[in-house]
Amino acid sequence: MTLRSSRTDINIRPYRELHTDIKGEAIFPRTIPPIHHKIAKLNLQVTDLAPKKRILTGDRPTGPLHLGHYVGSVANRVRLQHEYDTFIIIADVQALTTNFDRPERLAEDVRNVALDNLAAGLDPNLVTIFIQSYIPEIAELTIYFSMFVSVNALRHNPTIKTEAKAYGYSDLTYGFLGYPVSQAADITFCRAHLVPVGADQVPHVEQTRKIVRRFNELYGEVFPEPEALVSPVGRLVGLDGDAKMSKSLGNCIYLAEPPESVAQKVRVAVTDPARIRRYDLGHPEVCIIHDYQKAFNPGFVEELEPACRSAEIGCVDCKKRLIAALEELLAPMRERRAQYEKPGVLDEILRDGTARAKREAEATLALVRQAMKIDYWERWG
């Protein structure tokens, strides 16, 4: 592969990552590999990485990624990229289930989501980042799966019901209702074994497992049964304290957000409602800033909890500590993002990743058609 010269000057130093789970254990590597100027791994053939198990995970490009995405799935992607053959899907077709009337936004959102993943620490030498709509085999696999998935099973999917209520949908479109079938095709097109997801997506993975079992029963063993990997942090509450962190609710901190904006959002975030004055006793178990400290500054939590309860530390000082921890996490992301934004760099990564995903999809669909006995040319020849 001939590389553009713009790639050759990219070299971000590894950085020490302090993010851990609530038990104080690192939930992704302490060092993130530098960005190299060769994306050689993306040119490997389908069989080159066969001994490694596979991950499929990704995002609907409906806007930039935020801290909720990070603790829900992105951190696990980064942590596991050396252990698994990792596929990151930019699910632009699925974004149309709720944005079908605004497709012009996708071009920018696809790029931003890809940049957020790379900035978070995914190494394009190790992972395959691709665009869903350029893999027609996923759509074909969706159709095959839909032949034996009942409408009732989809209507009772708890994530579908929750999202339909959130969007105010009373009359569900075919695409929205069939989202779990499409997601099953996303997961299985590369025969993935593990799916890092947020807790709200677990029902979709369970639906995929049922689809895989049914397909294998009907036609023979083709797909592994994927497992969901849920972050130990769980759902991250929005800064308003009323719901999960969500772009539509405007209560989130984005991975690419400038430091001054991050600080301002933390300063005005909801805290313990019982702490009206500085020396009122605190109740960390009801404070969302305490939850954020557990997620992003766990080394401080053991000291924080008794200090909060005894009013030795106030909300302003507690928030300052959180702002510093978030800046330690986000500053390297901004640095890496700037490098990937150089002309031609992201385009090449996405083209190469999509090309590899297409090869994998073709290989899987050949197995599917063979198992279903609809590989006519081979049978007739």
Would 296 be classed as within a structural domain?
Answer: no
Q: Does pLDDT of 5 surpass 50?
A: no
Listed residue (33, 112, 124, 131) closest to 337, CA to CA? 112
Identify the burial level of 165 via C-beta atoms within 10 angstroms of its C-beta, where 0-12 means exposed, 13-18 middle and 19 or more buried.
Answer: exposed
Report the distance separating Cα 277 and Cα 275, nearest Å: 6
* Mean pLDDT computed over every residue of the chain: 86
Q: Name the least confident of 36-50, 164-178, 215-229, 353-367.
A: 36-50
Residue 319 lies in a domain: no
What CA–CA distance (Å, rounded) separates 97 from 378?
36
Q: Give me 111's structure tokens.
A: 């790029």
Q: Which two tokens stand for residue 277?
A: 């004055």
Q: Which residues pair with 237 in a beta bridge?
A: 244
Reported confidence tier of residue 87, pLDDT bands at 50, 70, 90: very high
The answer to whether residue 265 sits within a structural domain is: no
Identify the band that residue 107 occupies on the pLDDT scale cut at 50, 70 and 90.
Answer: very high
Q: What's the whole-number mean pLDDT along residues 248-277?
A: 93
Q: In the predicted model, what is the mean pLDDT of residues 305-329?
A: 95
Predicted confidence band at 195 (pLDDT cuts at 50, 70, 90)?
very high
Beta strands in the chain (DSSP E): 54-59, 85-90, 127-131, 194-197, 227-230
C-alpha distance from residue 238 to each of 37, 241, 261, 352 (Å): 38, 5, 15, 36
| Residue 278 lies inside a defined structural domain of this protein | no
Is residue 336 within 8 Å of 35, Cβ to Cβ? Answer: yes
At residue 49, φ and ψ (nearest 5 deg) are -110, 20
The pLDDT score that the predictor gives to residue 8 is: 33
Domain count, the chain: 1
Q: Residue 240 CB: number of other CB atoms within 10 A?
A: 16
Question: Which amino acid appears at position 8 of this protein?
Answer: T
For residue 235, the model assigns a pLDDT of 80
Distance (Å, rounded) from C-alpha 50 to C-alpha 267?
49
pLDDT of residue 232: 83
* Distance of alpha carbon 107 from alpha carbon 104, whole angstroms: 7
What residues make up the domain containing 162?
A: 5-35+47-236+343-380
Reference 189, options 128, 98, 110; nearest CA is 128
Q: How far apart are the first and last CA of the chain?
A: 35
**Domain annotation covers residue 260:** no
Q: How far is CA 368 from CA 57, 233, 240, in A?
A: 21, 37, 47
* Residue 185 resides in a domain: yes
Instruction: Please report, for the domain that includes residue 174, its CATH number.
Output: 3.40.50.620
Helix-strand-coil split of the chain, %, nearest 5 = 55, 10, 35
pLDDT at 169 exceeding the cut of 90 = no
Token pair belonging to 375: 């590989």
**Residue 81 forms part of a structural domain:** yes
Where does the pLDDT of residue 28 fall: very low under 50, low under 70, confident under 90, or very high at 90 and above? very low
* Residue 189 covered by a domain: yes
Q: Kindly indicate the confidence band of residue 341, based on its pLDDT and cuts at 50, 70 and 90.
A: very high
At residue 12, the pLDDT reads 33
